[in-house]
Chains A and B, each alone.
Chain A
Amino acid sequence: MDAALRSFPFQAMGSFCEIRFLEPSRIEARANARKMLAEVNRLEQKYSRYNPASFLSEINAMAGNNLGTKLDTETRTIFNHALSCYEQSDGLFDITAGVLRRIWDFSSGKVPSQTEVDRLLSHIGFHKLQFSKSRLILPAGMEIDFGGIVKEYAADSVARLGRSLGIECGLVNLGGDFAVIGPLPVNRPWPIGIIHPEGDRNLMARLMLEQGGLASSGDYERCFVHQGKRYSHILNPKTGWPCDGLRAVSVSADTCTVAGSIATIAMLKPEQQGIALLEELGVDHTYMTCDEQISGRGFITDSSAEKIADQIPS
């Protein structure tokens, strides 16, 4: 039986996505891909911030209403994980921080006034959310954003679905968040290239991923300097100001969800603390500092510029 590597590229969750897997039958491959795509669509439609009909929009629309919203099991477990991220990052990874985008418009280069920032800070803080049994009561002015969790979770969920469909060799890529369905034949790992924040199709690092997942968090804009201090475009929910942390972080872990949580937390911390956290957790990682130094462990970070095209297995 001649097994063929099938590729199904698609647009979802605001990014380029692709599911690849080995399947000799083209008909079977399409049937399986349809099922996996349906899972991505389900999660996108449920948790999209941009879709006014999503369940997340429903939650946000209830801000200030004491009735709150009844959460289903899946959403409750996502909140549980978000709480764990909030606690483990000492409040830096906060799913209520999205409101800051209302005042920070990096394209205009305008820096908001401190009073504007302070006014919004009162609407940020996971601890301000009230959970009563299975209901969430969202205080007025607050907003939930599952960025850094849902796309990663979707990758894991699709990978598990792929395994349950009997796929043995496969890889899910949802906009740079990877989850392995199963390794390539004879247990060979999947080669994955991490794009350089400067773009131009150069790779920042490579990783051979055999199982679990890989997620990246990065500021793919240049750092900016304000009053002599360097800032990234990632916003700190505690100060309301941009972070002075790492430029880009990629982490691999047993699940894409955990990898994404760690990468996000590392990005939110001040540069040295972010690096210290990655080393302390003992996961494979690679990072780029604001002055474009690349380092890490478990990743191949040779400085020779390699083209992405070379990394795609045929």
Chain B
Amino acid sequence: MTRKNTATGRKSGPGSKKLLALSTTALALPGIAAADAPPPFSTLSYKFTNYQEDDISRREAPFGERERYDIDVHQLRLITPTGRNTSLQIDGNQESMSGASPWFNIAGADGDPIVNLSGASGIRDSRRELSIAGSYYFDNATLSASTGYSVEDDYRSRYYGLSGQTNLHQDLTTIAAGISYADDEIFPTDAELFNRVTKESKFSTSAFVSISQIINQTSTLQAALSITEQTGFLSDPYKLRDVRPEQRTQLALSSSYRHFFVSEDAALHINYRYYHDDFGISSHTLDSSWYQNLGNSLQLIPHLRYYSQSAADFYSNVDNFVLPVTENQSSDYRLSAYGAVSGGINLVAPFGDWLISLNTERYIANEKYSAYDVTQPGAGLVRYFRVSLGIDYTF
């Protein structure tokens, strides 16, 4: 004889108030409550990523360099509990990039833009980043503070963040909010030789709020809003002519839904994001992933994403050198109207205290994929392949 014994499955009787009082305090115990306790173990992770852009076509760049960015990233992360209520996270990144990015675009004989990639010998740069974050776990809330520093040959960034989250309705609802501030400085190389700016700065202030709701045992819903305000030098100093406004307000609304299918032993994640800024760019991103468990030792995650954006008000696919430098203009393909499709497969395999993950992604951007009207097709839209291999060790 099998009997299901759940106290909550029953109709509330006169004693349920007493039971509720006992259950409420018991469920607040950190070993029972799922959230708001430092991680029980330390985790050390290493991840290597190679990001490689396809060569630009001879049609788009009839002369000079065709090879675009090739970036190698090494990431090291340590998350460790440091006390009864505290944890620490340290991240170190090292990126080395080589290749070239568009320098200026001119009109070809048929009116199509011709892209000129910068530097005969291309660009060689490396970026090093260190960030540290501490969290304090309260009864039913977590507060985190972080700071980081990133440096390149021609760029330096310092950032600070503060965020908090709290759980409501017996941990069914989580509300989070945070603010961050970044102070960046750019000092282009070969500034005098190419008549570039010598030193400029940029400040970004960002705030977000999010709410996550557990709907039932198998599904959750999340919504978030973030606003970023940037001021200062927002142009690309390496382009021959690139003049952008000195202020930018960005707004993003995102939502995600997760559903676990018990019989398939798999979960579906669907995310949608809407973005708008006062450069005139609006975008939609829709992505979905399927997390398929294969036994206890393997997880296979195919994923697919679609992205489309409208062009910035001042985008022009051919640089207009006649226009006074006070007028905004940019031929940066990232400001053009285009669409992009990407997809790939991730693999996660745990072995005891170890976890190995492999991620692959193919990305293709094209003005033909755009959901918005394309008046000036962007030149030099990228296609890339990204692969990363990660190892986590828990101790």
A87 close to B21 (CB less than 8 A): yes
Interface range, B side: 35 or more
- Name the contact of B22 in the complex, choosing from A207, A261, A284 (C-beta under 8 A): A261
Q: How far, in whole Å, are A154 and B352 apart by their CA atoms in the complex? A: 24
A73 close to B5 (CB less than 8 A): no
With a cutoff of 8 Å between Cβ atoms, the chain B residues found around residue A258 in the complex are 7, 19, 22-23, 26
With a cutoff of 8 Å between Cβ atoms, the chain B residues found around residue A300 in the complex are 1
B352 close to A31 (CB less than 8 A): yes
With a cutoff of 8 Å between Cβ atoms, the chain B residues found around residue A310 in the complex are none
Chain A interface: which of B8-16, B152-160, B185-193, B269-277?
A: B8-16
B31 close to A154 (CB less than 8 A): yes
- Name the contact of B40 in the complex, choosing from A25, A39, A283 (C-beta under 8 A): A39
Q: How far, in whole Å, are A39 and B23 apart by their CA atoms in the complex? A: 22
A76 close to B31 (CB less than 8 A): no
B40 close to A35 (CB less than 8 A): yes
With a cutoff of 8 Å between Cβ atoms, the chain A residues found around residue B352 in the complex are 25, 27-28, 31
Q: How far, in whole Å, are A4 and B8 apart by their CA atoms in the complex? A: 32
Q: Is B6 an interface residue (CB 8 A)?
A: yes
Most A C-beta atoms less than 10 A away, residue of B7, B21, B24, B37 = B7
- Name the contact of A80 in the complex, choosing from B3, B7, B25, B353 (C-beta under 8 A): B25
Q: Is B104 an interface residue (CB 8 A)?
A: no
With a cutoff of 8 Å between Cβ atoms, the chain B residues found around residue A157 in the complex are 29-32
Q: How far, in whole Å, are A209 and B353 apart by their CA atoms in the complex? A: 30
Q: How far is the CB of B2 from chain A (nearest CB, A)?
A: 5
A281 close to B19 (CB less than 8 A): yes
B7 close to A81 (CB less than 8 A): no
Interface size of A by CB at 8 A reads 56
- Name the contact of B29 in the complex, choosing from A1, A27, A156 (C-beta under 8 A): A156
Q: How far, in whole Å, are A164 and B28 apart by their CA atoms in the complex? A: 18
Q: How far, in whole Å, are A221 and B4 apart by their CA atoms in the complex? A: 32
- Name the contact of A208 in the complex, choosing from B3, B13, B16 (C-beta under 8 A): B3
B16 close to A282 (CB less than 8 A): yes
- Name the contact of B30 in the complex, choosing from A1, A73, A164, A209 (C-beta under 8 A): A73
With a cutoff of 8 Å between Cβ atoms, the chain A residues found around residue B5 in the complex are 207-212, 252, 283-284, 298
- Residue of A with least CB distance to B136: A73
With a cutoff of 8 Å between Cβ atoms, the chain B residues found around residue A35 in the complex are 40-41
B15 close to A84 (CB less than 8 A): no
Fill in one digit per residue for A166-188: 1 if any B CB lies within 8 Å of its CB, else 0: 10000000000000000000001
Q: Is A121 an interface residue (CB 8 A)?
A: no
With A28-B352, A157-B29, A208-B1 known as contacts, the answer to whether A84 contacts B85 (CB < 8 A) is no
Fill in one digit per residue for A152-167: 1 if any B CB lies within 8 Å of its CB, else 0: 0110111011001010
Q: How far is the CB of B284 from chain A (nearest CB, A)?
A: 36
With a cutoff of 8 Å between Cβ atoms, the chain A residues found around residue B3 in the complex are 189, 207-208, 284, 298
Fill in one digit per residue for A2-29: 1 if any B CB lies within 8 Å of its CB, else 0: 0000000000000000000000110110
Q: How far, in whole Å, are A255 and B19 apart by their CA atoms in the complex? A: 11
With a cutoff of 8 Å between Cβ atoms, the chain A residues found around residue B29 in the complex are 74, 77-78, 81, 153, 156-157, 257
Q: Is A200 an interface residue (CB 8 A)?
A: no
Q: How far is the CB of A170 from chain B (nearest CB, A)?
A: 13
Q: How far, in whole Å, are A298 and B34 apart by their CA atoms in the complex? A: 28
Within 8 A of B (CB), among A50-100: 72-74, 76-78, 80-81, 83-85, 87-88
Q: How far, in whole Å, are A83 and B28 apart by their CA atoms in the complex? A: 13
- Name the contact of A31 in the complex, choosing from B32, B40, B353 (C-beta under 8 A): B353
A84 close to B1 (CB less than 8 A): no
Secondary structure class of chain B's binding surface, majority of residues: loop
- Residue of B with least CB distance to A209: B5
Q: How far, in whole Å, are A209 and B28 apart by their CA atoms in the complex? A: 23
Q: Is A262 an interface residue (CB 8 A)?
A: yes
Q: Is A253 an interface residue (CB 8 A)?
A: yes
Q: How far is the CB of A217 from chain B (nearest CB, A)?
A: 14
With a cutoff of 8 Å between Cβ atoms, the chain B residues found around residue A31 in the complex are 352-353
Q: How far, in whole Å, are A1 and B85 apart by their CA atoms in the complex? A: 40
With a cutoff of 8 Å between Cβ atoms, the chain B residues found around residue A153 in the complex are 26, 29, 31-32
Q: How far is the CB of A36 from chain B (nearest CB, A)?
A: 10
A77 close to B25 (CB less than 8 A): yes
Q: How far, in whole Å, are A254 and B32 apart by their CA atoms in the complex? A: 11
B26 close to A255 (CB less than 8 A): yes
Q: How far, in whole Å, are A157 and B34 apart by their CA atoms in the complex? A: 10
With a cutoff of 8 Å between Cβ atoms, the chain A residues found around residue B27 in the complex are 255
With a cutoff of 8 Å between Cβ atoms, the chain A residues found around residue B295 in the complex are 1
- Name the contact of A254 in the complex, choosing from B7, B25, B28, B41 (C-beta under 8 A): B7
Q: Is B261 an interface residue (CB 8 A)?
A: no
Q: Is A291 an interface residue (CB 8 A)?
A: no
Q: How far, in whole Å, are A24 and B1 apart by their CA atoms in the complex? A: 28
Q: How far, in whole Å, are A25 and B350 apart by their CA atoms in the complex? A: 12
Q: How far, in whole Å, are A252 and B30 apart by their CA atoms in the complex? A: 21
Q: Is B59 an interface residue (CB 8 A)?
A: no
Q: How far, in whole Å, are A212 and B19 apart by their CA atoms in the complex? A: 14
Q: How far, in whole Å, are A91 and B352 apart by their CA atoms in the complex? A: 47
Q: Is B84 an interface residue (CB 8 A)?
A: yes
- Name the contact of B15 in the complex, choosing from A188, A212, A280 (C-beta under 8 A): A280
CB-defined A-B contacts under 8 Å, sample of 5:
A72-B84, A153-B32, A189-B4, A254-B6, A261-B22
Closest 10 CB pairs of A and B: A157-B31, A280-B15, A81-B25, A281-B15, A84-B25, A72-B84, A257-B26, A284-B5, A252-B5, A282-B13
Given A84-B26, A160-B34; 7 other pairs, CB 8 A cutoff: A31-B352, A72-B84, A73-B37, A80-B25, A208-B1, A254-B23, A283-B19
